[in-house]
Amino acid sequence: MFDSPGAAYDIIADDYAARFSDELFGRPVDLALLEVFIALVGRRGGTVLDVGCGPGTATTMLAKAALDVIGVDASAEMIRIAEERLPDIDFRVGDFRELDLADDSVAGICSWYSLVHTEPAALPGVIAEFARMLLPGGWLLLAFQTEAPDLTLAEPFGKPVTLTYLRHDTDRVSRALGKAGLAVDSITVRQRDIDAGETANQAFVLARKAR
Ligand SMILES: C[S@@+](CC[C@H](N)C(=O)[O-])C[C@H]1O[C@@H](n2cnc3c(N)ncnc32)[C@H](O)[C@@H]1O
């Protein structure tokens, strides 16, 4: 999964989009955190990256707010679906561990559940890459699963792939942010919605690059 993060999602992209692309809109807390990020970035304007955008879940909100959005995902199939849903947005197939974007070039980066396959040991490198692209004073929003053991799904949606969801520790993420020159603004942890089948709590971390 780590060497080719998009390959498994190419196989389940249609099923994933049908199941998850609208789920955000039924989750007021998650939505509110995304709206805070939009408000913070929108004050200044500039390009916003949705890294690991999948079928364009968070991208929909960023686009509605008229932000200048670039969506990036390692899965070409996810990008195909995102382009169908949001034809006016600049979507690109790419690996967020190494993006061809200049230093200090984007006003905001949103990673909406896209670190779920990044090994904890690789987090500092990925976060340093996000920090490199952010403008001084730019904002980063990370949404990820937390406070639960990792989860391996064999044959999700009945498809012949295995996906392991890595749950990250907010302290570890905060340390990586600090080392990359990003100051943590706020950490929100929403308790898992057991009725909806969530098996982990949900963390939303907002951080800002030093000015
Ligand atoms: C759980 S899905 C989340 C998708 C979307 N953000 C959402 O909330 O529905 C994880 C996504 O991250 C993408 N991804 C994982 N690692 C990546 C990487 N290194 N570079 C680019 N995309 C990556 C996967 O291809 C997948 O589409």
Q: How do residues 44-80 score in pLDDT, each as one tens digit? A: 889 999 999 999 999 999 999 988 999 999 999 999 9
Burial class (CB in 10 A: 0-12, 13-18, 19+), 128: middle
Identify which of 73, 110, 166 to mutate to test ligand 1's pocket (most ligand atoms within 8 A of the CB): 73
Nearest to 190 by CA among 198, 202, 199, 205: 202
pTM here? 0.97
Considering only CA atoms, which residue is closest to atom 13 of ligand 1? 52
R_g of the chain, CA atoms, integer Å: 16
Domain residue spans of the chain:
5-209
Considering only CA atoms, which residue is closest to atom 10 of ligand 1? 114
| Six token digits for residue 43 | 């004050």
**The total number of residues written for the chain in this structure:** 211
Q: CA torsion 147→149→150→154, rounded to 10°?
A: -130
Residue showing tokens 């389940």: 12
Task: Decide if 91 contacts 56 (C-beta within 8 A).
Answer: yes
Please count the other Cβ atoms lying within 10 Å of the Cβ belonging to residue 186: 10
Q: How do residues 156-178 score in pLDDT, each as one tens digit? A: 999 999 999 999 999 999 999 99
Q: Which fold has domain 5-209?
A: Rossmann fold (3.40.50)
User: Ligand 1: distance of its center to the CA of 119 in Å?
Assistant: 14
Considering only CA atoms, which residue is closest to atom 14 of ligand 1? 52
